Structure 1
């Protein structure tokens, strides 16, 4: 049976330390304060600090000193579910009596329940990051990074009237990377590395309904059972590790113009632990993750001002099903999506750098929508600055106001059945703020 509440099983695979996803799908873009301040426009090639490792290993060759960067992003979402209607399952069975007990009729109908509007279902989260680049010589550089590419989290109240579609999802993840870069000549550099993705998370869902068993006798009808029932449908505590990889290139036309191209391979995660689904126990769930490709450009248009841009492709069509070792739990059929961003940087003086940017963030959700992971096309409006504390030390700050769209959700367990199902309107906005400390030595 297809089960939309199992959508949040993805929490067992790709999660970040206290991270709430604020990119389309469950991708995490919050890799640095500098990137956030320009809506991650040009991120695969600007290389203003070591955080470029999160997007393109080849850019390490633009550093002539050891560089370290550490920071965090605070994500404050505003996620709401409104105008909801829950089609609560009601099952009935009629039994006729006589010399033999002959089954009569059975049916599944629905009780229509109006849902209270809810907001604040995604908690405030902190997303940390760390990067270190070491130029070995003029030809080689190595780097290590800790950040995340994926994560999500929502939490409904325990008394939410549609528990099979609400419930609790707590997610955490970490991407640990080791990279190597090589400079071919003064224009061209290549890089690549391996990524170890570690995740852990909890998921809980209840299923409820009304049950009526009626017996027809010569003396009249007798209600044998007539009550509401509620039981645990999904209860998961699992962790998983997967091995990914990335490659990239940078082409420096001259000092003020350059291009970057990168590709990240994401693995299928086997998440193991306590996996209980519809009263059946499993050892693991298997979740395919999307590959990511990015093209970026950077151009100095005056001696103090630069423009930069990025196009990012995310292969969400790989996220087609969630499976256990013996059964398909859920079909998703998401589509590939794109992010388009453009930004500008103004080098005001030796102490201050100002930046801004805009991103259009396309959702991968096609026909299967959900209230547990509200998703829509989103717009990012970003600004930030760098303060150069000294010639080797900089402090960065970035802020983004992210605006989503209303999405009309129709979520169901089985399309051919009248219940359980839910209809609602979801909306997700967010404010993101980040700070970064960078040092070269």
Structure 2
């Protein structure tokens, strides 16, 4: 399949997806298939039950039939409701901002095929990172953020080789596009026009390359181990910084122009296991690590005009590396149906309330998941999964008053629902 064709397909998937909120810790998106939702993504690098293994562990293609196709969709509804606890706003800004979450739809698609009995190739399309938070206009934290939207589109051609009956290895390249749109209040005019806000809007994008590798190890007929690593990807976002409103153009700092920002999306390591207890029961486990500390801060720098080279704003994230642990089970009800369930703990990269951003009110979360797989015959499988992500009360005390953006102090009440469906077929 030619790269131009893949790019068009990726763009079509991206348009179908719409806004992408963050569902795993940070703004990582685990929803790269729907078949893993019901197990809370336990065993993700070892299960290798459909072509979506291309993302989690490409070596898993050797466990599939000669040709397989998987297409899936996850519908996700996050909720981020802020309660003010003494914030100091800029100018006439006020209010809690409403629910900053909204529905999003994340499609993905994979195809794999065997060139020879022990050599497989495949390609996957998905969105491994994403975020959207959108508040009411002129809320108390509007000088920090009104909306923040991150999208990534990932094309991942891969190859896998079965070395022997016990060990397979695989690898792939990722072409990734990242798009960011960030809007905040840049200035509020004094009375008699206190609500005449001026907005700064960053609209930037980047293309970059990464890679991933994996191994699938069969310890016994009942037990399989998977290991995978996905590299960090360095993006240089370039685009426009637009200033709109009554104060636009009154000074170089309130003028439109070009801007850029460097972001290195984190690497991820996964260790997974699948063990079949008997003809009906199987257990799945997962431990993963994500290198979020690569994002210590993000400098937004002007790239044109008299202030070229000047940092407009710094997003002080100070992220830490994170761990995720997941356990799951499957029960073969009969020849056509398998029931699934899972539980996971997902650590947030946000260290404390002082470094929590209103654009990413993230916290540790616990996954509760269940679902089923239906096999109607003819090599086809249909997966349905439902997950609820419990997020404890999330405190924030982000003080940017010295920079003229006020102090946001309060608490978030957050949760996430995820519903996924996937169709897979061997042909």
Residue 200 (structure 1) shift: 2.4
Point out which structure has higher relative CO (alpha carbons under 8 A, 6+ apart). 1
1:165-197 superposed Cα distances (whole Å, 9 cap, x missing partner):
241223332111000111111111111110011
User: Residues 325 and 345 of structure 2 are in contact (CA less than 8 Å); yes or no, is this contact kept in structure 1?
Assistant: yes
Task: State the 1:400 CA deviation.
Answer: 0.1
CA RMSD of aligned residues (A): 2.3
1:293 maps to: 269
**Are the aligned partners of 2:141 and 2:358 in contact in 1 as well (CA < 8 Å)?**
no
2:237 alignment partner, one of 255, 271, 280: 271
Contact 1:207 1:230 in 2 (8 A): no
1:179 maps to: 158
Q: Provide the rounded CA distance (Å) in 1 between the counterparts of 2:182 and 2:85.
A: 22
Match of 1:41 in 2: 42
Match of residue 397, structure 1, among 380, 384, 395: 384
1:372 aligns with 2:359: yes
> Relative to structure 1, is the Cα distance of residues 309 and 146 closer, same or farther in structure 2, using a 3 angstrom cutoff?
same
Name the SS for the 1:61 alignment partner. Answer: helix
| Alignment of 1:284 onto 2:270 | no
Contact residue 130 and residue 150 of structure 2 kept, 8 A: yes
> How do 1:233-312 and structure 2 match up within 5 A?
234-276=200-242, 278-279=253-254, 281-312=257-288
Structure 2 SS opposite 1:128: strand
Q: 2:7 maps to what in 1?
A: none
The one of 185, 190, 208 aligned to 2:169: 190
2-structure distance, mates of 1:64, 1:187 = 17
Q: Contact 1:41 / 1:343 at 8 angstroms: preserved in 2?
A: yes
Question: Where does residue 74 of structure 1 map in the other structure?
Answer: 75
2:10 maps to which residue?
none
The structure 1 residue matched to 2:348, chosen from 360, 363, 370, is 363
Q: Could you tell me which residue of structure 2 aligns to residue 102 of structure 1?
A: none
Q: In the alignment, is residue 20 of structure 1 matched against residue 21 of structure 2? A: yes
Alignment correspondent of 2:113: 134
1:432 aligns with 2:418: yes
* 1:310/1:327 CA distance change after superposition, 3 Å: farther
Count of residue correspondences: 392
Task: Summarize deviations over 1:327-377 as a string: whole Å, max 9, x none.
Answer: 554232100001110000111211001110001010000130122211100
- Normalising by the residue count of structure 2, what TM-score does the alignment of the two structures yield? 0.86
1:423 aligned residue (409, 415, 422): 409
Looking at structure 2, the residues matched to 200 and 17 of structure 1 have their Cα atoms a distance apart, in angstroms, of 12
**1:60 aligns to what SS in structure 2?**
helix
Query: Which consecutive residues of structure 1, in runs of 5 or more, have no partner in the other structure?
Result: 1-13, 91-110, 212-224
- Label 1:62 to 1:347 Cα distance change in 2 as closer, same or farther (>3 A): same
Tell me the secondary structure at the aligned position of residue 289 of structure 2.
strand
Q: 1:17, 1:171 within 8 Å by CA — same for their partners in 2?
A: no
Cα distance between partner residues in 2 of 1:288 and 1:373: 17
- 1:133-175: CA deviations, max 9, x gaps? 1111122111100011100001111232431124122333211
Query: Which of residues 183, 200, 215 in structure 2 aligns to 1:204?
Result: 183
- Cα distance in 2 for partners of 1:419, 1:48 equals 50
In the alignment, is the contact (CA less than 8 A) between 2:97 and 2:137 conserved in 1? Answer: no
Using the alignment, how far apart are the partners of 2:393 and 2:150 within structure 1?
A: 24
Partner Cα separation in structure 1 for residue 79 and residue 192 of structure 2? 40
* Cα distance in 2, alignment partners of residues 145 and 189 from structure 1: 19
Instruction: Provide the rounded CA distance (Å) in 1 between the counterparts of 2:254 and 2:228.
Output: 44
